[in-house]
Structures are given as C-alpha cells and as structure tokens.
Structure 1
Amino acid sequence: MENKTQMTMMIGVIVVLVLALFFSLGQKQIIVSNGDQVHKVSVSGSAQKDAMPDKAVLRLTVQNEGKDPKLVQSQNSETMNTVIAALKTAGVKDKEIETSGYNLYPIQDYDPTTQRMINRGYRLQNTMVVTTTNIDKVGYLLQIGVSNGINSVDSLTFSLSDEKEKQVKAELIADASRQAKDKAESLAENVGASLGKVLFVTESSYMPGIYYAERAMLTKADVGGMAPSPQINPQQVTVQLIVNVDYSLD
C-alpha cells in the first residue's frame, strides 16, 4: 500500500513538471537584467541574391612515371616549371600560383607466382592551385596548362572574390534586417506593445561554390599540341543570408 502511494506521488510530481514546462514554452521569452524583467521578441529575416562569380580556382597536376625515382622527379620538375613559366607569360602572378600536393610513391603489382609485391617503378603527382579573377581567361589558362604538360585537371571552381562577397553580403544584411524589423513591429503592435532597442543580433550566410569540372586525365596527344581554348561559362552563385534579432518590448 505504501509503495502504491509513493508511486502515485511520483507520477503526480512528473505531471506537474511536464505541465509547468508546457506552459513556460508558451509564454513570452524574457531576459532578466539587474532584477528587472525585460520583455523581448525574437525575429528573423532572410534574403538572397544571385551574383556572377569573379574568381576561379584551378587545380592542375603533372603526373609521370618511371623506373628511376630521381629521373621521375627531374622530369616532373622540368614539366611543371615549363607550365608555370607559360602561365606567368599569360599574366598569372606569382601569388596566384601555389603548390598544393607533391606525392611520389612506388607502383607495385602482385605476382601470384611468388606471392609477393613487385616494384615496377615510381609515380609522381605534382599538383598546383591557380587562382584568378580574370574569368574570361580561364579557358585560355587551361589550354596553356595542358599544352605545356598538365595531364590532370583535378577541378575548376568558381566563387566570389572577398571584395565582391563583402559587397553582396552588405546588401543582403540590409534587406534581411529590414524584414526582421518589419516582423518585430507587426508582432509588437498586435500584442499592444511598442518596439524597443535591439538586444541581440546574429547573422549567418551560405554561398556554395560552383564546380565546373571533375577530375579529368589529359595528355598532349588528347589535345594535339596547342588545343583551342575550351568554352567556359560559369553559372551565377546564389548567396543566402539570415539575420536573427532580439528586440525589447516597451
């Protein structure tokens, strides 16, 4: 009998706690500061804009194989230096070229007769990243790279430069903030209050990069020496931004 009474009391306590939580969630959120209650309203505003990319990032690789690792390295370096020199002649600056990967490893095959791995040579992959804001020359830069020894175009990504992204975000922040304030004023009016000062504000944005090309293996034979420049037409980038604002209610 005593156990049943205790169980009933526990159930009652749980029910009270659940009801208290339910009603607290339905109440207006408040912030307590210096002992005074400050009623607030939390709103969000969103905005988005399509913008044409003004920056391209090319990942280009020189890959070669051979029996002698030193010779493989020497041949690879010679080819890569030729590519870099050609890109600079085309107007690419030193700061726009950087090495992103250098991987030399043995090429091994399994011999079922001896049940051992046999080393049949070495492969070297030397990858560089080229960044340019001259979108109109992307096709030409690919043409130069491949014609001078690039045999793997790993990726081509379009995005906004820091300057243009900052400009677009400034416009979106203004639009999203205006939308958030309109919502807050409407809510305040409907509950018989007036909108006070901003208590808290956050901003978040999303801008996906556009990948034009996946990894492709190319050789000089594929393009027949100096290939014609490929047609590169990047799509617009959609920038999305959300502003969250807390206003006090007077």
Structure 2
Amino acid sequence: MIIRSSNRAVRPLTAAAFVLGALAAPALATHAAAQMSMPQPPPQIVVTGRGEVQVAPDRAQVQVGMETQAKTAAIASQENNKKQTAILAAIRALGIPAAQIQTLNYSVMPIQRYDEKTQRVVIEGYRVSNIVQVETDKIEQAGPIIDAALTNGGNRVAGLDFLVKDRAKAQETALTKAVESARRQAEVAAKAAGGQIAELLELNINEYERPQPRAVMAMAKMEMADASAPTPVSEGMATIAVSVSTRWRFTK
C-alpha cells in the first residue's frame, strides 16, 4: 500500500525498520527517565575578589656598572676592569658586605657598521659592559651606592628597586580582604536576584601578585655643576595584592 500526503509518495516501512524502532523506543525512554531523575545543581553565584595592602619597602637593590668602548676587545675589557675595580672598592667602603655584591651581567659586543661601498659588515670596535647588583637592608644607602659608582668612573645605573623582605603578614591581610570582597559582591548579587547566599562551595586563591618594584634610572653626573650633590631617592610604598575566585550557593 502507498500512502500519499502533500502530493508525495511515502514508501511502506520495512519489517527491519519496525524492529529497530521497537528496540530504540525503550532505550530512549530509559535515557529520558535517567535525565529526569538526575539531581540538578543548585543555583550558584560565582564572583572574584581582590585585596591589597600597602607596605613600606625595607630592602633596596641597586644595579650599577661601567660601559667602555675601544678598538679591540682586550683594551675595552682592560679599561672596564680597571674602573669596575674602583667602583667595587668604593661600594665596599660604605660597609656593604661582599656577599651582597653580585655581578649581574658582563658582556663583550662588537660595534658593527655596514659599509655601502664594500657591502660588508665592518667591525669598528668593541663594547664591554659590566653590571653589578648591590643589595642592602638600609634604604638610605641606595643613594650613596649610586654616588660611589658614578664618582669612581661608573656610567651606568641600570635600576633601583625597592622590595619587601617579609611579605607573609601582608599577604595574609590581603587574602582576608580578597575573600571579604568576594563575599560582599556575592551578597549584593543575591539580594538583587531576590535571595541570599548560603554556604561557600568553592574558593580558589590565585597566585599572589608580587609587589611591583619602583624602577629608578639615574643619569651619569659627568661634569654637571651639582655633581657633588647626593643622589636623592624615595622608596615610597609597595603594594602586595592577591585575588580569589569563589562559588556560593544561592537560595530564595
């Protein structure tokens, strides 16, 4: 028999199709029943919170050094070593222990120029750079360290960073503020939605944000009129921050 509908011919179903349909029906019913019986997760509110604390730095890192140029690498290195020795002696004379003075970078690089006539790279000389890092727990020594380097032949101040040695207590305070901030946001959101928050379902503490050092660059004094004036420094305040992500159960 052919059944026609909307001017289309529909072929009669085979016995195999009836059998497959009969087998699939119970499976579909079971799947639907399983979905209906699965417990639905409770309504949730997901928020993030951030807390930060301002602390006074108690440690300084000063990076100073010498850069020289000469026709040969040997001459540039010899001149650099001579002046760097004087710089280190002046820094140690301030009472800085040798253990707090570390060579941070030493490099020898050719000074190159492209010759248009010969179409070749020409080495005109060599540049030697030597940078040392000096650490001190006395913030007030940062300026004298820079002065000691510049007045003894140094011509590079790569950076001045103010750090915090013990951040544990400040991190705990910042974490408390972050969680409190997240809870307040969740409470406000729940109230706006006509309900309230119940228990905390999840709390993730993100990596602590290290206080950003305040990098200070200094210029070589050369022969300026105020070359005898001490280098002024101001450590300011460091910010220690932490963020958290939370999930709270929402109830009406």
Instruction: State the TM-score, normalized to the length of structure 1.
Output: 0.68
Structure 1 residues 125-164: aligned runs within 5 Å:
125-158=129-162, 160-163=163-166
Say whether residues 1:211 and 2:212 are aligned partners. Answer: no
1:173 offset after TM fit, Å? 1.0
Structure 1 residues 105-124: aligned runs within 5 Å:
105-109=109-113, 118-124=122-128
CA–CA separation in structure 1 for the residues paired with 2:150 and 2:157: 8
1:143 offset after TM fit, Å? 0.8
CA–CA separation in structure 2 for the residues paired with 1:103 and 1:51: 36
Partner residue in 1 for 2:65: 61
Structure of larger gyration radius: 2
Say whether residues 1:77 and 2:85 are aligned partners. Answer: no
Q: Does structure 2 retain, via aligned residues, the 8 Å contact 1:157–1:211?
A: yes
CA–CA separation in structure 2 for the residues paired with 1:136 and 1:62: 23
Partner residue in 1 for 2:95: 91
1:205 offset after TM fit, Å? 4.8
Q: Does structure 2 retain, via aligned residues, the 8 Å contact 1:133–1:161?
A: no
Q: Secondary structure at the match of 1:211?
A: coil
Partner residue in 2 for 1:235: 236
CA–CA separation in structure 2 for the residues paired with 1:233 and 1:194: 46
Structure 2 spans left out of the alignment, 5+ residues: 1-37
1:192 offset after TM fit, Å? 4.6
Cα deviations by residue, 1:73-99 (Å, 9 ceiling, x for unpaired): 223223223322322232323343222
Distance 1:162 1:66, change over 3 A: same
CA–CA separation in structure 2 for the residues paired with 1:238 and 1:200: 23
Partner residue in 2 for 1:14: none
CA–CA separation in structure 2 for the residues paired with 1:149 and 1:140: 15
Distance 1:140 1:185, change over 3 A: same
Partner residue in 1 for 2:205: 202
Cα deviations by residue, 1:142-188 (Å, 9 ceiling, x for unpaired): 11111222111122233x3241x332221111122123234445555
Partner residue in 1 for 2:3: none
Q: Secondary structure at the match of 1:144?
A: helix
1:204 offset after TM fit, Å? 4.8
Aligned with 2:169 (options 167, 173, 192): 167
Say whether residues 1:180 and 2:188 are aligned partners. Answer: no
Distance 1:191 1:125, change over 3 A: same
1:128 offset after TM fit, Å? 1.8
Partner residue in 2 for 1:222: 223
1:49 offset after TM fit, Å? 3.1
Q: Does structure 2 retain, via aligned residues, the 8 Å contact 1:66–1:121?
A: yes
CA–CA separation in structure 2 for the residues paired with 1:230 and 1:147: 11
Q: Secondary structure at the match of 1:212?
A: coil
Aligned residues: 211
Distance 1:192 1:82, change over 3 A: same
Aligned with 1:50 (options 47, 54, 73): 54
1:50 offset after TM fit, Å? 2.9
Partner residue in 2 for 1:19: none
Of Structure 1 and Structure 2, which has the larger fraction of its residues in helix?
Answer: 1
Instruction: State the TM-score, normalized to the length of structure 2.
Output: 0.68
1:101 offset after TM fit, Å? 1.9
Structure 1 spans left out of the alignment, 5+ residues: 1-34
